[in-house]
Structure 1
Amino acid sequence: MFVRDRGHRPSRGGTRPLPDQRELVAAFGGQASDPVTDHPLIDWARALATLHRQRHRDPLGAAGIDCRRAELVAAIDAWVATKLPRRRYTEQLRARSLGATVDRMAAAHVHASHLLHTAEKVSDDRVHAAWYRLASLADEWTDLIVDV
């Protein structure tokens, strides 16, 4: 579904640094993960997408939902700060907030899925634009993690 994939795969003999864009998109859609290769970011990504869906269904609960989203974004950023090796490229990752990037991707996925299921025509320009936005964010994610 997404254009670029730079071949990010789990490393042998250790915990892989970050999940790739396909794993995140699958998590946003609620796909079950493999407990052997699961990553904490997958659980947080799934939770962020769930919160975005809740926010869509319950706009009056937005304040509490947004508070929880901010907590998850902070948890992701804290994990990045403590788990990734200190190298020049990780400083760039920390500066860009991976948590905020995952949150934007979750929001884009929820929005695109909603449009896909509710639009009168799948060929609607809004549906295309929403999926294009998600693909752009997925490319941004890949660009952020490619050197990790």
Structure 2
Amino acid sequence: MTADLPHWRELTRAFRTPPHRHDTALLKWARMLASIHRVREFYPDRAAVFEASRTALRHRIAEWIIQHTGARPGAAATCATVIDDMAAAHVTAEQLLRTEPPPSTEQLHAAWFDVGYLATHWADLVAEVIDGQPPVPWPLKRR
């Protein structure tokens, strides 16, 4: 029953590239979350629809993780939330790269730091779900 969860690199690839033939359903749903985060700013009057879609995708991701890894429901839900948070942080950081006037170095660093922070959290969750390794207490203090 145990399957590997994607590495954080696979998730960030899914956030920024078109679908690949060998993507798991989880990676497809992660890509969909990033797409929702990209388009929702253009349709502020549809916020409830986007929120409902994100909730449904997080639920599907959690169910997939439970079925494929045997994870506890709470751990699977946390994994789904972190994927959604990573997608949002990644989209925010990539949007900053297209902002005019260009953002400050500090703004760019902070945005990509958030992506890295969540990638580290994801790696810890994978170690907990797959290997049974107790996670580092989150949230960590940020510098």
Per-residue Cα deviation, 1:27-47 (whole angstroms, up to 9, x for no partner): 1112442x23x2111100000
2:83 matched to which residue of 1? Answer: 102
Distance 1:117 1:15, change over 3 A: farther
1:56 matched to which residue of 2? Answer: 41
Structure 2 length-normalised TM = 0.80
Find out whether 1:136 has 2:136 as its counterpart: no
Find out whether 1:79 has 2:81 as its counterpart: no
Contact 1:24–1:42 (8 Å) recurs in 2: yes
Per-residue Cα deviation, 1:65-102 (whole angstroms, up to 9, x for no partner): 110000000001111222213xxxx3386265211111
Bigger drift between 111-120 and 19-28 goes to 111-120
Amino acid at match of 2:67: T
Amino acid at match of 2:119: A
CA RMSD of aligned residues (A): 2.2
Using the alignment, how far apart are the partners of 1:29 and 1:15 within structure 2?
A: 27
Question: Which structure carries more relative contact order (alpha carbon 8 Å, separation 6+)?
Answer: 1
Q: How does 1:24-39 map to 2 (within 5 A)?
A: 24-33=11-20, 35-36=21-22, 38-39=23-24
Measured after TM superposition, the shift of residue 125 of structure 1 is 1.3
Find out whether 1:18 has 2:39 as its counterpart: no
Per-residue Cα deviation, 1:104-123 (whole angstroms, up to 9, x for no partner): 00000110000111153465
Using the alignment, how far apart are the partners of 1:66 and 1:21 within structure 2?
A: 24
Alignment: residue pair count: 129
Structure 1 length-normalised TM = 0.77
Q: Which runs of 5+ in 1 are unaligned?
A: 1-13
Q: Which runs of 5+ in 2 are unaligned?
A: 131-143
Contact 2:19–2:28 (8 Å) recurs in 1: no
Using the alignment, how far apart are the partners of 1:119 and 1:146 within structure 2?
A: 40
